[in-house]
Chain A
Amino acid sequence: TQLLEQSPQFLSIQEGENLTVYCNSSSVFSSLQWYRQEPGEGPVLLVTVVTGGEVKKLKRLTFQFGDARKDSSLHITAAQPGDTGLYLCAGDAGGTSYGKLTFGQGTILTVHP
């Protein structure tokens, strides 16, 4: 069974601070997706990373896929209250498991004004 360890589980910061969320596994993934979920809603895709070492930017969010495709990070610069939510990483093992995502436990981010 593949596992994705996501940390930290909770993050409470002030507006303007920077933060990083980590997603680690001992397994290799063919791709990794990051989702954001707000209260009362389902998760919404932020980004998919596919290539080892890949870096993708989405405004103030920077996503990185590890060289060995076993880990990923999400860095938010100058966090804003609108960034508050649950952030989930999800890995796709590919092959016969293609499309069956393994999710991390999630990081609950609260950004205070």
Chain B
Amino acid sequence: ETGVTQTPRHLVMGMTNKKSLKCEQHLGHNAMYWYKQSAKKPLELMFVYNFKEQTENNSVPSRFSPECPNSSHLFLHLHTLQPEDSALYLCATRLESSYNSPLHFGNGTRLTVT
């Protein structure tokens, strides 16, 4: 139990589908992140939310749309994805006010786009 829960764990979707990834945290952290993990590539930061406000969009295509309705929940809405978007999507949280505080990751959603 990491304190950060991601659902679903696995998702297979077609290129015309619309789906959403969910992240829920019970750690009282105030910053939430979406990362993309692909084989043989470093973890790529996608979006950052601080106190529910989006503070970073790391040049992510518009087919990925994040939403942070409150400090405990983070969503990643997906539509018209491409096969190269297949990857492990990791949610992470952090206590922003604590110096050098680490990221706490969920176990990820393994996404396959067919």
- Contacts from A to B (Cβ < 8 Å): 4, 9, 30-31, 33, 35, 40-45, 48, 50, 88, 90, 92, 99-106
Contact = CB atoms under 8 A, between A and B. Distances in A.
A42 B92 contact: yes
Given A90-B43, A104-B42, 15 more contacts: A9-B40, A33-B103, A40-B107, A41-B107, A41-B108, A42-B108, A43-B90, A43-B105, A48-B102, A100-B45, A100-B56, A105-B40, A105-B41, A105-B42, A106-B42
Interface residues of B, number: 22
A7 B103 CA distance: 22
A74 B75 CA distance: 35
Nearest to A106: B42
Interface string B19-56: 00000000000010000000011110100100000001
B62 interface: no
Interface string B60-75: 0000000000000000
